[in-house]
């Protein structure tokens, strides 16, 4: 499945967000939501979280910096269950982390979806467009992966 595009949604009065219909089969009715290093949130399938867990199990207890990162990642990861209308409650802690008030940009990634505050997402895109960073900074990083 290709995850492309940006979809604008709004949280309802109970902090629920609707999953775009075309992605329900991919994520199923239960999945995970966690933090992204850029201040956004990422949706992960249960299988993807299991893969991450296997990789993180080898982090030695003596590596305190890595253990701190693991703790931060897991303490900000939540299991999500969709209701019958494809909605889920956005945990307050993650809502605050991503600076989401009401408007949410659901953005496609190579492997899933990312949730941004719509305002933060627009500012991020304007900043990249204004400085022409795609040609100078972003495109060379993609070339490394043959894109």
CATH number of 6-143: 3.40.1550.20
Tens-level pLDDT at each residue, the chain (147 residues): 788 889 999 999 999 999 988 888 899 889 999 998 888 999 999 999 999 999 988 888 998 888 888 888 899 999 999 999 999 999 999 999 999 999 999 999 888 899 999 999 998 877 655 555 555 565 565 565 554
The ranges assigned to domains in the chain are 6-143
Report pLDDT for 112: 86
Listing DSSP states for the chain in one string gives ----SEEEEE--TTSEEEPPGGGHHHH-SEEEEEE-TTS-EEEE-HHHHHHHHHHHTTS-TT-HHHHHHHHHHHHT-EEEE--TTSEEE--HHHHHHTT-SSEEEEEEETTEEEEEEHHHHHHHHHHHHHTTHIIIIIHHHHHTTT-
Distances from the Cα of 2 to the Cα of 27, 108, 111, angstroms: 13, 8, 8
Name residues whose C-beta falls within 8 Å of residue 145's C-beta, 6 or more positions apart in sequence. none
Report pLDDT for 89: 97
Report pLDDT for 110: 87
Report pLDDT for 147: 43
């Amino acid at each position: 499945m290709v995850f492309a595009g940006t979809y604008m949604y709004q949280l309802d009065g109970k902090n629920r967000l609707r999953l775009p219909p075309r992605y329900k089969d991919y994520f199923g009715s239960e999945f995970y939501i966690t933090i992204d290093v850029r201040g956004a949130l990422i949706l992960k399938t249960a299988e993807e979280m299991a893969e991450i867990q296997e990789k993180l199990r080898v982090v030695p207890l003596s590596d305190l910096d890595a253990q701190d990162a693991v703790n931060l990642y897991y303490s900000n990861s939540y299991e999500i269950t969709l209701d019958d209308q494809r909605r889920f409650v956005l945990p307050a802690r993650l809502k605050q982390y991503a600076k989401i008030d009401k408007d949410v940009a659901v953005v496609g990634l190579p492997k899933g979806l990312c949730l941004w505050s719509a305002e933060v997402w627009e500012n991020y895109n304007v900043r990249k467009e204004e400085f022409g960073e795609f040609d100078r900074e972003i495109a060379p990083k993609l070339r490394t992966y043959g894109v």
